[in-house]
Amino acid sequence: MRHVDAAAIIDLVEQRLTASEREMYHQHLSECRECAAEYDYWWTFLSGLGPSQLKDAPEDVIDDCITIFEKPNPSPNTFQKARILLDSFIEPLPAMGLRGTIVAARQLVLRVDGLDIHLRISGKESNRTIQGQLLPLTRTALIDGAQVELRVEGQPAQFAFTDALGEFRFNDVPAGSCSFAIDLLSEGRTAHFLVQGG
């Protein structure tokens, strides 16, 4: 069979599939290292290992991870359209609730060609904290030092830069839809996307 796509893997992690679908995918995962790694990745992410907890990994482990990543090759300047893979507002995460995790934040995963953008939006509507992480799909390149621009209509733009793990954070984000522009300097392109609602 073909590789299991990310949406199916998310359904699998969240136990939303029928027994026969589960069996079919687990069979594939047992034979395909690529999909098994993808599954592990999503399981870890959806289990609530958010950006703040990722920072708690031992320093030497982080150093090891960073050294195995490579610099990306430059690609032509292109405008990419984002696709939502997961939005906990639209699709609540039952599996997380079952594990006793309180889901007080909105979690989103967006995909722009070759890049997953994880967002966690928490806090009061008028004073939100947005944590994010950029994860290249190939996982051969971390995105360090990319400028992230956030605009909420009627407000001045806010800027943040990704750290060595591709993470960024905005504090005191006012209410309203959030328009992001991520300048992927190393790849010579910009990723634009809009997160509507709170």
Binding stretches for Zn ion (CB under 5 A): 3, 32, 34-35
Q: Specify burial of residue 13 (Cβ count, 10 A radius: 0-12, 13-18, 19+).
A: buried
Nearer Cβ to Zn ion (2/124): 2
Cβ 29 to Zn ion shortest distance, Å: 7
Cβ 37 to Zn ion shortest distance, Å: 9
Concatenated DSSP letters for 132-192? EEEEETT-S----S-EEEEEETTS--EEEE--TTSEEEEEEEPSS-EEEEEEEGGGTEEEE
Query: Which of the 8 DSSP states describes residue 83?
Result: E
Residues β-bridged to residue 79? 190
Nearer Cβ to Zn ion (32/164): 32
Cβ 39 to Zn ion shortest distance, Å: 10
Dist. CA 50–CA 52, nearest whole Å:
6
Cβ 24 to Zn ion shortest distance, Å: 12
Cβ 34 to Zn ion shortest distance, Å: 5
Nearer Cβ to Zn ion (8/108): 8
Dist. CA 53–CA 8, nearest whole Å:
25
Nearer Cβ to Zn ion (32/62): 32
Nearer Cβ to Zn ion (35/182): 35
